[in-house]
Amino acid sequence: MSDRITVASDQDVVRVRQLVRTAAVAAKLSLVDQTKLVTAASELARNTLVYGGGGTVELISVDNGRRKGIRIVFADEGPGIADLDLALTDGYTTGGGLGLGLSGARRLVDEFDIDTKVGEGTSITVTKWCR
Partner 1 sequence: MERVPVLKIGDILLVSIQIDMEDQVALQLQEDLADRIVATGCHGVIIDISALDIVDSFVGRTLATIASISRVLDAETVVVGMRPAVAITLVELGLSLPGIRTALNVELGMAMLAQDEPEPEPVGGEEEPVATS
Is 116 strand, coil or helix?
strand
Among 1, 10, 63, 113, binds partner 1 (CB under 8 A): 10
What are the C-alpha distances in Å from 34 to residues 67, 82, 108, 115?
Answer: 16, 31, 10, 25
Give residues 78-97 in contact with partner 1 (rule: CB under 8 A): 90, 97
100 forms part of the interface with partner 1 (CB under 8 A): yes
Q: How far is it, in rounded angstroms, from Cα 52 to Cα 76?
A: 5
101 forms part of the interface with partner 1 (CB under 8 A): yes
Quickly list DSSP for 4-54. EEEE-SHHHHHHHHHHHHHHHHHTT--HHHHHHHHHHHHHHHHHHHHTTSS
Among 18, 26, 82, 111, binds partner 1 (CB under 8 A): 18
What is the total count of residues that contact partner 1 (CB under 8 A)?
A: 27
- What mask of x and - would describe binding to partner 1 in positions 24 to 63, judged by CB under 8 A? -------xx-xxx-xx--xx--x-----------------
119 forms part of the interface with partner 1 (CB under 8 A): no
Among 3, 8, 17, 54, binds partner 1 (CB under 8 A): 17
